[in-house]
């Protein structure tokens, strides 16, 4: 597909190998920070529902009929399952800080990033479409780094999001690469979006992603046209464990 504007950002020239390694280490911590914040928010909401229903059950006591009791118990169990699923998004925080590559499902990792991103944009009325969210694939990559790359690239849209918009997420796979593209459709704000997307200082905001891609493999392209702006990330699908 041809776009009106397209370019591949490069890491800032002053970035040495030591700085890139340091940035990559910070990326892992940042990814866990983003995710833990979203997880705590989600768990807090679930606990509020549990606490409210338990208090009502305590107040009613003998006046609580069987149907009402069962209904409230079901609500409580639903929220407990919600908490378990939310915590399961990350698994072991400690193991994800080791920096070791592992077999990771990029669709699940992208879902994690969208989980955190959507909480940042909840009040903006952003409609997110991700038709491939339940697909399965294994990449050999650093889990936290992959999650951070998705998060940092998604957070770029916050800089150009003005009012309601639609974010379309699409994926593709070839024999050599797995790729994901994200396009923000907001035709009325295209001029402002493209100005930010083409800013020569933008790569400075992507030091973490550009450093990580340089070390771990992969590339990113930014693009835009009359209906909005977007990006495409590509990652090697081989399982080179060296």
* Assigned token pair, 34: 């983003």
**For the residues 1-13, what does the mean pLDDT come to?**
76
Q: Which residues neighbour 68 within 8 Å (Cβ) at sequence distance 6 or greater?
A: 60
Using the predicted structure, report yes or no on whether residue 233 has a pLDDT greater than 90: yes
The DSSP line for 194-231 is HHHHT-TTHHHHTHHHHHHHHHH--EEEEEEETTEEEE
The pTM of this model reads: 0.80
The overall average pLDDT reported for the chain is 83
pLDDT tens sequence across 60-85:
877 788 888 889 899 999 989 888 88
**For the residues 91-111, what does the mean pLDDT come to?**
75
pLDDT tens sequence across 161-209:
877 788 999 999 988 899 999 999 876 666 778 888 888 888 888 888 9
Dist CA 214 CA 97 (whole Å)? 19
């Amino acid at each position: 597909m041809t776009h009106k504007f397209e370019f591949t950002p490069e890491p800032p020239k002053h970035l040495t190998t030591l700085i890139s390694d340091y940035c990559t280490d910070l990326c892992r911590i940042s990814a866990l920070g983003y995710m833990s914040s979203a997880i705590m928010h989600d768990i807090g909401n679930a606990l509020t529902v549990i606490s409210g229903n338990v208090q009502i059950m305590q107040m009613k006591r003998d006046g609580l009929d069987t149907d009402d009791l069962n209904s409230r118990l079901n609500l409580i169990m639903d929220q407990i399952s919600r908490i378990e699923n939310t915590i399961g998004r990350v698994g072991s925080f400690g193991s994800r800080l080791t920096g070791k590559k592992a077999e990771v499902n990029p669709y699940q990792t992208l879902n994690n990033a969208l989980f955190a991103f959507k909480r940042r944009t909840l009040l903006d009325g952003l409609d997110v479409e991700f038709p491939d969210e339940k697909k399965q694939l294994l990449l050999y990559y650093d889990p936290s780094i992959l999650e951070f790359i998705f998060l940092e690239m998604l957070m770029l849209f916050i800089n150009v999001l003005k009012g309601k918009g639609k974010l379309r997420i699409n994926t593709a796979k070839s024999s050599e690469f797995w790729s994901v593209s994200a396009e923000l459709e907001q035709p009325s704000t295209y001029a402002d979006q493209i100005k930010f997307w083409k800013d020569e200082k933008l790569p400075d905001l992507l030091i973490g992603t550009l450093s990580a891609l340089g070390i771990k493999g992969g590339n990113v392209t930014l693009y835009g046209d009359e209906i909005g702006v977007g990006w495409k990330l590509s990652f090697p699908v081989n399982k080179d464990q060296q």
